[in-house]
Amino acid sequence: MACQMAPFNKLPMPKSSKVNFKVIKNPDIYGCFDEEEMEIQISSNACGHFTTIFQTLLHEMVHLALYVRGDDDFHLHGEKFLRIKAVYSELYNFDPKAI
């Protein structure tokens, strides 16, 4: 469903059936994208509210989109990442400075 929302509906995203989702219990991270497993992980120890979970999911989806696009720096928070993040931050009224 999130892939049907802007800005992801304009990005090369895989079908949701091709991406695994996993809840982890790591207090040191909010989430991560594992390209080898094609898995987005969200930490229940760091994300306790819907807004935090949603922001984390969108954040990891940017990494996924950059990976699918073939960007070598998909795992970084560089210019490409920040451009996509700026779009969803404005759309969903999220703090654009939060990473």
The domain that holds 79 is classified in CATH as: 3.30.2010.10
The whole-chain average pLDDT of the chain stands at 92
- 13 in a domain, yes or no? no
Q: What is the pLDDT at residue 5?
A: 78
Q: CA–CA separation, 10 vs 3, rounded Å?
A: 9
- 61 in a domain, yes or no? yes
- 26 in a domain, yes or no? yes
- 1 in a domain, yes or no? no
Q: CA–CA separation, 63 vs 58, rounded Å?
A: 9
Give the number of domains in the chain: 1
**Other CB atoms within 10 A of residue 86 CB:** 13
Range of the domain at 81: 18-91
Across the range 22-41, mean pLDDT stands at: 97
Q: CA–CA separation, 56 vs 99, rounded Å?
A: 9
- 10 in a domain, yes or no? no
The amino acid occupying position 11 is L
- 46 in a domain, yes or no? yes
- 86 in a domain, yes or no? yes
Across the range 44-67, mean pLDDT stands at: 95
The residues facing 31 across adjacent strands are 42
Residues shown for the chain: 99
Q: What is the pTM of this model?
A: 0.91
Identify which has the larger pLDDT, 67 or 97: 67
